[in-house]
């Protein structure tokens, strides 16, 4: 209700050229009102609204309309993410002013040459050899986080050290303080960030990155070419690890939670998965089971739909842009230079005008091809969009699918409390793009008799295994 009250006062202004300025929303509490409302919003920083945009006194434009979001993404020079990336990378990672000056100079969207480092991430995580190697290394490990970091950092993965792993999650919890407070008020975060960065510095000094994934090697080569110091490269790697780890385990949890708590979905998904498993017996009389991940997209539409629906309901990320020059958005809205543009995922994902009256309910068939209620693919924002579309979406999706398939296939699962009660997420870190649990969720697992024995493997080396999770991916598939 507090959020709705802040939207009660607004009016339309017009510039000298006849273009509309976005609606202005004033808080009841002067200056700090918006900040207070945002801090207490369980759905994330910006609430859903029927208005296209709103502007605070600090010139922050917030976009709630799918067509307008697409218009923002098309103006990637005038409405750019790179300047924001430079500022937040340095603040979050604690790198030097020298590193900031390098990023600031090369992130000039008109004349700068920055792009090699970000391009390296996209190239390494796009469909192809490097992504296949990452997926193959990840698929059958025992723990999501260790499996992911082993795949990325190789045999000398710093996260194999429990102290480093523990320090990383302590750092992750302190991110809000690190972003908004001086270092002396965020000492715990600074201390743990340094512990992880020191581990990465040792990693690079010993050339362990040469045995890592193409992603790490390409980043390392690009950062050296830009002249970043060893200290700054190590601090930036803490930020890279955050991007790799922060949301994967949450996405796995929500997908598994909804599959097992929805009997119809569980039954249908198990039937689908059975079509992509081949079993055999070798000369030593050992049973072998192989899951063909390349067939998930074609054979398991219910599983894919359930995954997308699970992360739709629990995505809270915000796409950001900085207005680099006075611009007109979609031929209508006049945006001032140096303002910020926010595109909150939760606002789109919870809009009944887009998704229908059951927008807040879990519907495992919502994204199924047979669903008569068609929604624009652009409305699905869990991986962002445009030039800032998450480059790791294929890798992350394959991880979630692999863990879900193994658990669904091999185990029965029941909550210890006796019923599937959705856990609270009030303490989710604002740096995450997925809601995280306030407390552990305890379950009892038992092996299914049908797949109780044997060795398991996964086939993940075919580019056709790509999951069409975003409008950009769907367009790519149509061109093939």
DSSP characters over 142-175? SSHHHHHHHHHHGGG-GGGSHHHHHHHHHHHHTH
Q: Which domains does the chain have, with CATH numbers?
A: 2-74+322-349 (no CATH), 81-245 (no CATH), 248-315+356-479 (1.10.630.10)
Looking at residue 157, what is its pLDDT? Answer: 96
Looking at residue 51, what is its pLDDT? Answer: 36
Q: Which long-range contacts (CB under 8 A, 24 or more apart) does 5-13 make?
A: 6/33, 6/34, 6/37, 7/47, 7/49, 7/51, 7/54, 10/51, 10/54
Which SS3 state, helix, strand or coil, does residue 61 take?
Answer: strand
Which tokens sit at 386?
């445009």
Q: Specify the residue for token string 């605070």.
A: 56
Kindly give, in sequence order, each residue whose CB lies less than 8 Å from that of residue 23, ignoring residues fewer than 6 positions away. 10, 11, 12, 51, 52, 53, 54, 55
Number of residues that make up the chain = 480
Which SS3 state, helix, strand or coil, does residue 87 take?
Answer: helix
What DSSP assignment string belongs to 392-406?
A: THHHHHHHHHHHHHH
Q: How far is Cα 216 from Cα 59, in angstroms, rounded to an integer?
A: 37
DSSP 451: G
Looking at residue 163, what is its pLDDT? Answer: 94
Is 35:43 a contact under the CB 8 Å cutoff?
A: no
Q: Name the maximum alpha-carbon separation found in the chain.
A: 82
Does the pTM surpass 0.85? The reply is no
Is 434:247 a contact under the CB 8 Å cutoff?
A: yes
Q: How far is Cα 45 from Cα 64, in angstroms, rounded to an integer?
A: 13
Q: Can you point out the beta strands (E) in 313-421?
A: 318-323, 327-329, 333-335, 340-344, 411-415
CA separation, residue 456 to residues 56, 273, 286, 387, 452 (Å): 55, 14, 11, 38, 11
The per-residue pLDDT for range 443-470, each reduced to its tens digit, is 999 999 888 788 888 887 655 445 555 5
Regions of the chain with pLDDT less than 70: 1-58, 105-143, 388, 461-480
Binding site for heme: which residues?
390
Residue 386: CB atoms within 10 A of its CB come to 20
Nearest residue to 430 (alpha-carbon basis) of 163, 247, 203: 247
Looking at residue 31, what is its pLDDT? Answer: 52
């Amino acid at each position: 209700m507090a959020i709705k009250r802040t939207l009660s006062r607004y009016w339309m202004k017009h510039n000298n050229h006849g273009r509309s300025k976005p609606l202005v929303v004033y808080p009841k509490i002067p200056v700090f009102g918006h900040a207070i409302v945002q801090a207490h919003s369980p759905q994330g920083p910006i609430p859903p609204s029927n208005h296209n945009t709103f502007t605070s006194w600090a010139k922050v434009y917030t976009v709630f309309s799918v067509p307008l979001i697409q218009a923002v993404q098309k103006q990637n020079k005038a409405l750019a993410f790179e300047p924001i990336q430079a500022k937040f990378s340095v603040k979050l990672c604690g790198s030097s002013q020298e590193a900031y000056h390098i990023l600031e100079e090369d992130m000039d969207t008109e004349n700068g040459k920055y792009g090699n480092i970000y391009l390296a991430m996209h190239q390494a995580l796009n469909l192809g050899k490097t992504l296949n190697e990452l997926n193959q290394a990840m698929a059958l490990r025992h723990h999501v986080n260790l499996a992911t970091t082993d795949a990325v950092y190789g045999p000398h993965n710093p996260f194999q050290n429990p102290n480093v792993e523990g320090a990383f999650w302590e750092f992750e919890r302190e991110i809000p303080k690190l972003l908004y407070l001086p270092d002396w008020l965020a000492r715990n975060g600074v201390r743990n960030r340094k512990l992880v960065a020191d581990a990465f510095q040792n990693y690079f000094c010993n050339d362990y990155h040469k045995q890592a994934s193409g992603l790490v090697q390409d980043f390392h080569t690009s950062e050296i070419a830009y002249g970043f110091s060893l200290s700054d490269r190590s601090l930036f790697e803490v930020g890279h690890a955050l991007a790799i780890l922060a949301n994967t385990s949450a996405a796995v949890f929500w997908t598994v939670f909804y599959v097992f708590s929805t009997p119809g979905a569980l039954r249908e998904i198990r039937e689908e998965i059975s079509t992509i498993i081949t079993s055999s017996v070798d000369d030593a009389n050992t049973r072998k089971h192989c899951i063909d991940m390349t067939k998930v997209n074609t054979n398991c539409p219910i599983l894919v739909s359930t995954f997308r629906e699970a992360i739709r309901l629990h995505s809270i990320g915000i796409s950001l842009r900085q207005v680099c020059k006075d611009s007109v958005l979609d031929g209508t809205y006049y945006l001032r230079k140096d303002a910020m543009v926010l595109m909150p995922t939760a606002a789109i994902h919870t809009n009944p005008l887009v998704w229908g009256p059951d927008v807040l309910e879990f519907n495992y068939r919502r994204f199924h091809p047979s669903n008569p209620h068609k929604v624009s693919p652009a409305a699905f924002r869990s991986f962002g969009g445009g030039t800032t579309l998450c480059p790791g979406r294929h890798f992350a999706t394959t991880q979630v699918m692999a863990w879900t398939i193994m658990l669904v296939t091999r185990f029965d699962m029941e909550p210890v409390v006796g019923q599937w009660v959705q856990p609270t997420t009030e303490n989710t870190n604002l740096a995450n793009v997925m809601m995280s649990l306030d407390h552990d969720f305890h379950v009892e697992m038992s092996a299914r008799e049908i797949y109780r024995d044997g060795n398991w493997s996964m086939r993940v080396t075919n580019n056709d295994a790509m999951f069409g999770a975003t409008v950009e991916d769907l367009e790519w598939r149509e061109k093939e």
